């Protein structure tokens, strides 16, 4: 699994493996997003604003499940 810490007020870290994106938020919650292309992961970690990217390109666009 590829993991990356982000400089973001919304997202603490993300991990990616086999089209699954795990997003750990700064408030302690986490979500797993399914069928996420690797390119979306790359764009997220390289974004100037990961929180904005998440809200416009990931949230509500992929099936997800709240983590524990």
Going by the DSSP 8-state scheme, the letter that residue 10 receives in this structure is S
DSSP lists the bridge partners of residue 66 as 31
Separation between Cα atoms, residue 16 and residue 32, nearest integer Å: 9
For the chain, give the longest Cα–Cα distance. Answer: 28
Q: What is the pTM of this model?
A: 0.94
CA 15/CA 22 separation, integer angstroms: 5
* pLDDT: which is higher, 24 or 67: 24
Please provide residue 7's backbone torsions phi and psi, each rounded to the nearest 5 degrees.
-90, 90
Domain boundaries along the sequence of the chain: 2-66
Per this entry, what is the length of the chain?
68
The model's confidence at residue 68, banded by pLDDT at 50, 70 and 90, is low
Q: What is the pLDDT of residues 8-50, one digit of tens each?
A: 999 999 999 999 999 999 999 999 999 999 999 999 999 999 9
């Amino acid at each position: 699994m590829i993991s990356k810490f982000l400089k973001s007020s919304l997202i603490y870290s993300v991990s990616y493996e086999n089209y699954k994106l795990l997003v750990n938020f700064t408030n302690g919650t986490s979500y797993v997003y399914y069928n996420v292309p690797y390119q979306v992961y790359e764009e997220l970690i390289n974004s100037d604003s990961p929180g904005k990217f998440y809200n416009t390109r990931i949230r509500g666009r992929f099936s997800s499940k709240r983590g524990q």
